[in-house]
A and B are shown apart, each in its own frame.
Chain A
Amino acid sequence: MSASIAHEVNQPLAGIVTNGEAGLRWLDRKEPELGEVRSAMERIIRDGKRASQVVERLRALARKAPQQTALLDLNEVITEGVALVQREIQSHHVALQLDLARDLPPVLAGRVELQQVVINLMMNGMQAMEPVTDRPRHLVVRSFAQAEEVFVSVQDSGIGIDPENMSRLFNAFFTTRANGMGMGLSIGRSIIESYGGRIWASSNDGAGTTFQFALPARADGAS
């Protein structure tokens, strides 16, 4: 699903970039072709609107989800997510460590959406470790409960994140990867926040980054 979303946003963005570049080339000609520049700019505006409509639809999609909420065991969500990225874990030569607390209180959320968030965090961690060759590629997924909240953290030993980028990580279209769309974390934040939770990142003492989210704990059987 995330691939098709990326495709849908990426098409108008590619159009915008190319129209902008083409417009500059028409301007830079010996005899600037203003008619062509105007058409390029009109297409830029049209494509920009289209991209923002796609993002709007995504937001609506993320908001609509509470229909399918249920009391969930986050450990199950994590183990199912791990099963889905098993191939990537192997192909990235990553050592995965699961550190899951017993007897976690449940959280109220959409299972598929939370899985999407967990998978996205694991994929990000693996991608951050792609350039690493001089130390183990270690991915640690933890769960624990603390003060009425259930936490999930994903810790990598990757290349880390510049402090100046930390605050923008969860913004739509912000990415540090050449091929990244900058959608994964921003969608993740919409999902977590729609269930009353929070998501953040911090640099490890050693190498790499830790992403975590926390969701309100629900007593068993509560609404």
Chain B
Amino acid sequence: VSRGPQPPRTAKALPVVFVVDDDPSVREALSSLFRSVDLQVELFGSTAEFLQHKRPDGASCLVLDIRLPGVSGLDFQAQLQQASIRIPIIFMTGHGDIPMSVRAMKAGAVDFLAKPFRDQDMLDAVAAALQRDRQVREAEDAATSLRANYDLLSPREREVMALVTTGLMNKQVAGQLGLSEITVKIHRGHAMKKMNARSLADLVRMAESLGLHKPKAHQA
């Protein structure tokens, strides 16, 4: 059972806009607007319906009415955060309520639009939200695959990686670990290959992302 180095996830699902509004007029209108610019839309009449739905792998965002029966949009935003469901939210409100919008924005909402809104404002907000989600996902994917690659290294390779990325020469690393210089070179080559590092600079950046040089605790 040999696992090779993992490339970053490439399956690019189409972006999806989720709409939660208890009013069918608003839902259907938004569906038409988003589809007219070739965005995929999923409509929900309540937050419960939305939660039951499977969220996709690709970028997505949530267009949420702030006044919903049962749970308010703001409370739902907090619930999602508690459940570690990260999805950028654009709030819609029937009346421009400034304290509410401040609370929503502070809790990380992308935008806050008063109904009736301008179509371009809504589309701009959705584009910004999808872009934000895409970046978060890419960063998460990169961190995951970096960690997965690092897990493939042998203990020796990890030691060599930790030391060479502090700027030590192969000879110095060999001295510290009590190995021959040629062995260090081999371990270093394996580490670079498993980590998909193109250069030493690349490997240094990865070591930093992985936090290999944080405290002194790492000195074996």
Contact = CB atoms under 8 A, between A and B. Distances in A.
Contact of B115 (A10, A19, A21): A10
B36 interface: yes
A18 B67 contact: no
Contacts of A33: 36
B115 A11 contact: yes
Contact of B33 (A18, A50, A179, A181): A18
A15 B25 contact: yes
A14 B96 contact: no
Given A6-B94, A7-B67, A47-B25, A14 B32 contact: no
Given A10-B116, A25-B119, A18 B29 contact: yes
A25 B94 CA distance: 24
A43 to B, nearest CB: 6
A109 interface: no
Interface residues of B, number: 23
Interface in A155-202: 178-179, 181
Contacts of B92: 14
A22 B19 CA distance: 16
Contact of B25 (A36, A50, A179): A50
A16 B33 CA distance: 12
Contacts of B95: 3, 6-7, 10, 179, 181
Nearest to B31: A22
Contacts of A179: 95-96, 114
A12 interface: yes
Contact of A18 (B35, B94, B119): B119
A interface majority secondary structure = helix
A19 B114 CA distance: 16
B29 A14 contact: yes
Nearest to A47: B25
Nearest to B118: A21
Contacts of A100: none
How large, as a class, is the contact surface on chain A? Answer: 20 to 34
Given A11-B23, A14-B117, A43 B29 contact: yes
Nearest to A46: B25
A144 interface: no
Interface string B107-149: 0000000111111001000000000000000000000000000
A22 B114 contact: no
A21 B33 contact: yes
B28 interface: yes
Contacts of B83: none
B94 to A, nearest CB: 4
Given A11-B25, A47-B25, A179-B95, A22 B36 contact: yes
Interface in A6-36: 6-7, 10-19, 21-23, 25-26, 29, 33, 36
Interface string A46-59: 11001000000000
Q: Kindly name the residue among A10, A16, A23 whose own CB sees the greatest number of chain B CB atoms within 10 A.
A: A10
B59 interface: no
A39 interface: yes
A3 B95 CA distance: 8
Contact of B36 (A13, A16, A25, A181): A25
Interface in B18-62: 23, 25-26, 28-30, 32-33, 35-37
B197 to A, nearest CB: 46
Contacts of A46: 25
Contact of B119 (A16, A21, A47, A181): A21
10 contacts: A10-B116, A11-B23, A11-B26, A13-B116, A14-B92, A14-B116, A22-B33, A25-B119, A26-B36, A50-B25
Contact of A14 (B26, B35, B36, B37): B26
Contacts of A25: 33, 36-37, 119
A25 B95 CA distance: 26
